[in-house]
Amino acid sequence: MKVYRVDRLLRVGILILIISMLSGCGWIGGKSESGNENTTNKTTEQKVDTYTGEKSREITYVYTAKKELSLTFNGMGDKETMTKLLDELDKYGIKATFFLPGMRVAEEPDIANDIVARGHEIENNTLNQLDLTNLDYQQIYKEIKLSNEVIEKETGKRPKYVRSKSGDHSDDLLLVTAQLGMKAVVSYNINPKDRDMKSAKEIGDYVKRYISRGGIITLNTDINPEVISSIQYIASAAKEIGYKLITLDELVENGGVRKPLEQIPGYDASKFNNDYENADYELIYKVNTKKRHIALTFDDFGSDKTVTEILDILAEHDVKVTFFLRAKGVEDNPNLARAMVAEGHEVANHTYAHSVSTTITPEELQEDVVKAHQVITEAIQEQPVMLFRPPTGVIDDERAKAVAAVGYPVIAMYDVTTLDWDVSNTADDIVNKIMEKTENGSVILLHMLDNIHTIEALPRVLDGLEDKGFTFVKMSELIKEQDS
């Protein structure tokens, strides 16, 4: 158990007393929020009216297609621990964000100032790291306001963001944050759970597995000493994929705010429709064209590492493709879908749950396709290309009509497949089959799944087909060339 020196505790008590007396909220005398002189008992806390304006923003991750994410820390360990942690961050050139409890800053301001001096960001972890869900509005207000004032007084930095100890938050915290003019309440989407006393490598492996554009990693400074050694693994994971670790405020400033689904044109281009008996549809396996044009397509979804590697290879070859997205994956990682569009590719519908269409009813298929359309639209903030590809390429007449009736009359199939989803098919197998089968107007199917040989084969496929005189176009563009 940590024992604090008497002079340190006295200093803290005096500091909090002074801040309370000087603060505009009139916790102990002074002026009220309205600016009126407090003529009541000087030792009586003055009630703060509950804010009735718009709630502050909630941030779990930042909406961005850029290769950036943020490493954040909660709490403040002792000086030895914090110095070692800061040295490790310096070693790997990482700028991080530290959510500090106001009381700990008051106790050891030299640590907080060292964090600032090394170029890191300091934010509000509340005054005492209490469970805010058990506090009323007045108590939450006091926790956040006094912590802001302690941090600003000791470091000269005014916090812009607040995070509770657990990362959970209530409506009251959102209102308090807005009332105090702060930017947002921050949570996280990458939590290696270092509190469970995991090893440094376990922490690093978790981050590597779930690393994502716009992601917010959370770690603690005062529980598991392995956090210090985990920095090397986290830095390695980011470097391997080409991502940069930056401060939270920089991440937020570089990112955007997603519009609600209903504000995006084309969000309702796909709607449930049980009147599908006479719906017209077209199955397109390849396109009849005299041009040496072909379409490269990718199905499903993968991790940031896999998809980013694919995007990087395509960018190196200046090739644009069509991604048929499994929308459950998009829902979990919308930034990755947005990155595809930002790099000039087109995305289309590959269902939400990836059920084989003939194993569910036409009505269930319609619901799935509409849901996928909405998820993809919200993720990329625009209407996707209105092409539908059934999982495993299986669809019958009744279900094709059902899909057409919800707004997807073009069923995008393929004539060149390598079964690359099967890990037993090597890179050589993939390359040889594509080279053998591709013709004018061909639609090539590959997958963006983890741990298969597609990435290994892709550069060879692109070079080989270009050497044969083929030009890659997106599938929607190829369809327009029918019989040209």
User: Cβ contacts of residue 43 below 8 Å, gap of 6+?
Assistant: 28, 29
427-437 and 454-467 helices cross at what angle (nearest 10)? 30
Q: Give how far Cα 397 sits from Cα of 270, 332, 358, Å.
A: 19, 32, 10
Q: Are residues 59 and 33 in the same domain?
A: no
* Nearest-angstrom CA–CA distance, 340 and 312: 11
pLDDT at 6: 47
Read off the DSSP letter of residue 298: E
Does 338 lie in the same domain as 453? Answer: yes
Domain of 415, in residue numbers: 265-479
Q: How many domains does the chain have?
A: 3
147: left (phi over 0), alpha (psi -120 to 50) or beta: alpha
Closest CA to 284 of 433, 417, 465, 475: 475
CB 387 within 8 Å of CB 476? yes
Q: How far apart are the first and last CA of the chain?
A: 79
- The answer on 341 and 243 residing in a single domain is no
Q: Is residue 47 part of a domain?
A: no
User: DSSP string covering 118-156, please?
Assistant: TT-EEEE--SS---GGGS-HHHHHHHHHHHHHHHHHHHS
The pLDDT, as a whole number, for residue 37 is: 41
pLDDT values of the chain reduced to their tens digit, one per residue, 484 residues = 344 444 555 565 656 554 554 444 444 333 333 344 443 344 455 788 999 999 999 999 999 999 999 999 999 999 999 999 999 999 999 999 999 999 999 999 999 999 999 999 999 999 999 889 889 999 999 999 999 999 999 999 999 999 998 888 889 999 999 999 999 999 999 999 999 999 999 999 999 999 999 999 999 999 999 999 999 999 999 999 999 999 999 999 999 989 999 999 999 999 999 999 999 999 999 999 999 999 999 999 999 999 999 999 999 999 999 999 999 999 999 999 999 999 999 999 999 999 999 999 999 999 999 999 999 999 999 999 999 999 999 999 999 999 999 999 999 999 999 999 999 999 999 999 999 999 999 999 999 999 999 999 999 999 999 999 999 999 999 999 987 6
Same domain flag for 17 and 96: no
Type of residue at 140: I
Q: Based on the domain organization, do 215 and 322 belong to the same domain?
A: no
Task: Tell whether 218 and 82 lie within a shared domain.
Answer: yes
* Together in a domain, 87 and 231: yes
Structural domain includes residue 352: yes
Q: Tell me the two tokens of residue 70.
A: 């943020």
The answer to whether residues 482 and 288 touch, using CB atoms and an 8 Å cutoff, is: yes
Judge whether 23 lies within some domain. yes
Q: Give the predicted TM-score (pTM) of the model.
A: 0.88
Provide the 3-class DSSP secondary structure of residue 328: helix
Q: Which conformational region is residue 34 in: left (phi greater than 0), alpha (psi within -120 to 50 degrees), or beta?
A: alpha
Predicted pLDDT of residue 9? 55
Distance (Å, rounded) from C-alpha 383 to C-alpha 329? 18
- Residue pair 308/67 in contact (Cβ under 8 Å)? The answer is yes
For 256, phi then psi, to 5°, come to -130, 180
Within a domain: 48: no
Q: What is the pLDDT of residue 398?
A: 97
Chain position carrying tokens 């997106």: 474
413 in Cβ contact with 285 (< 8 Å): yes
Q: Tell me, what's the pLDDT at 14?
A: 54
Q: Which of 254, 274, 293 is the last residue of a domain?
A: 254
Does the residue 46 lie in any domain? Answer: no
Q: Are 48 and 141 a contacting pair, CB within 8 Å?
A: yes
User: What's the distance, CA 392 to chain centroid?
Assistant: 28
* CATH value at residue 412: 3.20.20.370
Supply the pLDDT for residue 483.
Answer: 76
- Domain end residue (candidates: 254, 287, 321): 254
- Token readout for 27 is 């916790």
Token digits for 289?
Answer: 């064209």
Are 339 and 219 in the same domain? no
- In-domain check, residue 484: no
Rounded CA separation 154/105 (Å): 7
174 inside domain? yes
CA–CA gap between residue 267 and residue 394 (Å, rounded): 26
Q: Which amino acid is at 244?
A: K
Do residues 201 and 246 both lie within one domain? yes
Cα–Cα distance, 353 to 300 (Å, whole number): 10
Q: Same domain, yes or no, for 102 and 247?
A: yes
For residue 259, tell me if it sits in a domain. Answer: no
- Continuous H helices in 389-426: 397-405
Pairing of strands 57-59, 184-186: parallel
Residue 309 and residue 241 in one domain: no
Strand bridging mode 293-300 / 322-325: parallel
Question: Where do runs of H (alpha helix) occur along 52-185?
Answer: 79-91, 102-107, 109-117, 137-155, 171-179
Same domain for 295 and 364, yes or no, is yes
